[in-house]
Structure 1
Amino acid sequence: MSSSRVILIALTMVVVTLVTTTKRAEGARAFFVFGDSLVDSGNNNYLPTTARADSPPYGIDYPTHRPTGRFSNGFNLPDLISQHIGSQPTLPYLSPELTGQRLLIGANFASAGIGILNDTGFQFVGILRMFQQFALFQQYQARLSAEVGEARAKSVVNGALVLMTLGGNDFVNNYFLTPVSARSRQFTVPQYCRYLISEYRKILARLYELGARRVLVTGTGPLGCVPAELAMRSRNGECVPELQQAAQIFNPLLVQMIRDLNSQLGSDVFVAVNAFQMNMNFITDPQRFGFVTSKIACCGQGRFNGLGLCTVASNLCPNRDTYAFWDPFHPSERALGFIVRDIFSGTSDMMTPMNLNSLLLQ
């Protein structure tokens, strides 16, 4: 065998080893999820609340074809991120299956209906507010320490990827919930956005105190374009200006707050995800992404299938892959795939100060 061929084989083996090692390292990275229904993987199934996705046709395209508590026809955003980093999906923290070595995978603390503010989603009753999600995160760390020792537990938390998704409910299930709400009497929209950001900063600072060092923070999506708002407020299917403007005030303030917080910490701990633009890409040009519509929900009733809940009595589209929205508020699994693609490899207009591929190298 020629020496050049031996060198080539050796180099190939080195590359394969490096790739395998990298995948193992990424697979070993824990993943923690906090926030609302966009990222809840089933915690609300264990809570006394109406904000649940535990009945058909939710989960119709999940591998088991059964509802899981995810507000999706199949996988949700955390699931798709887990798949990309080569990890098992994070279990809901309240799941009785989250025990022993499974704690090393991470945990999902998200709860549908919550917001930045504690009075957001009051109508859903027994949901996990952010202070409660953090209390459970502390409980998780104690359990992990008992399982693997305090030093390794600290290393797992510090090395983990964290996803935080908040803000949308503070508008649609608080400020704009009724024509005149308590918060709309208290604040103008710009004042309210500044107030939300000041409260959000406290949440992120607390998350840092609890050990998080790599945190994706999603901005709000285009709230005025979801089927629920089109059904209630739109005349001809145009995105609702008041909600769109609120998101467009809130999101730049969030990016600036994250820049300031990172500067204060001396490290790029927090990464802003431009969920607004990621969603608008397929909302404004659905055909380019292979969707037949970005206005009508696959599952729902009334105008744009945007009224009420997604239930067995709802209209249900035959092919979820051709709908940008699964239910009145939540993107379909396929739409989420485009968002995840942008999270991993998006340019600086999508991900600030870096995309997830770059973040995982740190």
Structure 2
Amino acid sequence: MVGFVNISTCFFIFLLVLAVGVEGRAFFVFGDSLVDNGNNNYLVTTARADAPPYGIDYPTHRPTGRFSNGLNIPDIISEEMGWEPTLPYLNPQLRGPKLLVGANFASAGVGVLNDTGIQFVNIIRIYQQLNYFEEYQQRLRALIGIDEARKVVNESLVLITLGGNDFVNNYYLVPYSARSRQYSLQDYVPFVISEYKKVLMRLYTLGVLRVIVTGTGPLGCVPAELALHSRNGECAEELMEAAELYNPQLKDMLKDLNDEIGRKVFIAANTNQMHMDFISEPQRFGFITSKIACCGQGPYNGIGLCTPFSNLCPNRDLYVFWDPFHPSEKANRIIVQQILNGDNKYMHPMNLRTMLAMDPKA
């Protein structure tokens, strides 16, 4: 009887490993609200997207915890690659064969720094996300064994999106914030970059070999900042300066990190340029505006949160921004196309399709 159980268990593990080999790579997501697909629904926090009209264009037409009218960037990457979408790590359904798909550890409100997003109280800060990834790997090893679990992680794809909140929800959150009194902007940016390097090194030591790292968008051009700072629709100067300092330094840090490691593990996605394309020529992409959020209130629909009582546009595909901070699904789809296929202006040193064509052991 014991022997029968062992044979059955081995056969089950074989089928699981075969399934993940057929269906594609595991996909892991870390970061903030741009990529959170519902972890914050399981937390007592104000950083939530669990009420209408969030999710109005999601297949279920119900809110999911995504800060979007529909799908977000990780969803669309999974869709484009033909992979099953990842579940939030805190979702109780993430067990058994679902672990082989990967997991989303992202949490709205977090930044590179631990003091970013403190006003949201209970969020999964980035080092806790990495701790959960370690916990995930223990669960995976228990399911399919040490060697196969290591292979799943080594051959996986990782997406990490951090940095924007370290400015909008930390340095510039209030006048004379603690960080702005401690650092000039010119010193704060290298500090954030140096802390981010530690995060990425920890991620690498956990066994991942293919990581897409997105920069910040043009922070001063989001409707929330236009509502606070703009008179004639011009982007907020200080936040634009922050993005202009941060993104090139992030790209340089990733190159240095790859040089130190001796392989191209980290890929820079120039999401700042992707967004600037929309902002400078929205009509070229089928949008009517890049300044006004679809859902919100006040100038540019940029004040407060998107709620059932907010103004709501009838056609989300005509708007770059869904709410005061986050892109619409249509904008996310265009961004993913650049991540997949973009040239060196958008993806450095290669795009996602090139990355995935490479042997992860090479």
Whether 1:323 and 2:319 are equivalent positions in the alignment is yes
- 1:77 match: 73
Question: Amino acid of the residue matched to residue 319 of structure 2?
Answer: Y
Which of 130, 133, 137 pairs up with 2:133?
A: 137
- 1:67 match: 63
Instruction: Check whether the contact 1:29–1:161 (CA below 8 A) recurs between aligned residues.
Output: yes
Which of 106, 109, 122 pairs up with 1:110?
A: 106
DSSP 3-state at the match of 1:191: helix
- 2:6 match: none
Which of 296, 306, 311 pairs up with 1:310?
A: 306
DSSP 3-state at the match of 1:140: helix
The Cα of 1:27 is off from its aligned counterpart by 3.3
The Cα of 1:26 is off from its aligned counterpart by 7.6
The Cα of 1:65 is off from its aligned counterpart by 0.2
- 1:150 match: 146
- 2:40 match: 44
Cα RMSD for the two superposed structures: 1.1
Instruction: Check whether the contact 1:26–1:86 (CA below 8 A) recurs between aligned residues.
Output: no
Q: Distance in 1 between matches of 2:140 and 2:325?
A: 35
Q: Distance in 1 between matches of 2:196 and 2:142?
A: 31
Q: Distance in 1 between matches of 2:85 and 2:55?
A: 15
Q: Distance in 1 between matches of 2:279 and 2:326?
A: 13
Q: How does 1:21-32 map to 2 (within 5 A)?
A: 27-32=23-28
DSSP 3-state at the match of 2:267: strand
Q: Distance in 2 between matches of 1:73 and 1:112?
A: 16
Q: Distance in 2 between matches of 1:292 and 1:25?
A: 43
Q: Distance in 2 between matches of 1:26 and 1:50?
A: 40
Provide Cα deviations, 1:118-139, integer angstroms capped at 9, x if missing partner: 0000000000001100111011
Q: Distance in 1 between matches of 2:301 and 2:128?
A: 33
Which of 281, 285, 288 pairs up with 1:289?
A: 285
- Number of residue pairs matched? 340
DSSP 3-state at the match of 2:357: coil
DSSP 3-state at the match of 1:203: helix
Whether 1:255 and 2:238 are equivalent positions in the alignment is no
Q: Distance in 1 between matches of 2:313 and 2:345?
A: 33
The Cα of 1:235 is off from its aligned counterpart by 1.2
Which of 337, 341, 344 pairs up with 1:348?
A: 344
The Cα of 1:103 is off from its aligned counterpart by 0.2
- 1:87 match: 83
Question: Amino acid of the residue matched to residue 265 of structure 2?
Answer: V
Q: Distance in 1 between matches of 2:323 and 2:21?
A: 36
- 2:175 match: 179
DSSP 3-state at the match of 2:159: strand
- 2:122 match: 126
Provide Cα deviations, 1:83-134, integer angstroms capped at 9, x if missing partner: 1111011100000111100000000000000000000000000000011001
Instruction: Check whether the contact 1:224–1:230 (CA below 8 A) recurs between aligned residues.
Output: yes
Q: Structure 1 residues 26, 118: CA separation in 2 closer, same or farther (over 3 Å shift)?
A: farther
- 2:208 match: 212
Question: Amino acid of the residue matched to residue 288 of structure 2?
Answer: V
Question: Amino acid of the residue matched to residue 145 of structure 2?
Answer: G
The Cα of 1:236 is off from its aligned counterpart by 1.2
Q: Structure 1 residues 245, 26: CA separation in 2 closer, same or farther (over 3 Å shift)?
A: farther
Whether 1:271 and 2:245 are equivalent positions in the alignment is no
DSSP 3-state at the match of 2:305: coil
Q: Distance in 2 between matches of 1:76 and 1:86?
A: 16
- 2:95 match: 99
- 2:233 match: 237
Gaps of 5+ in 1: 1-23
DSSP 3-state at the match of 1:258: helix
- 1:246 match: 242
Does 232-241 or 117-126 show the bigger shift? 232-241
The Cα of 1:349 is off from its aligned counterpart by 1.3
Question: Amino acid of the residue matched to residue 49 of structure 2?
Answer: A
Q: Distance in 2 between matches of 1:355 and 1:163?
A: 13
Taking structure 2 as the reference length, the TM-score comes to: 0.93
DSSP 3-state at the match of 1:360: helix
Instruction: Check whether the contact 1:218–1:272 (CA below 8 A) recurs between aligned residues.
Output: yes
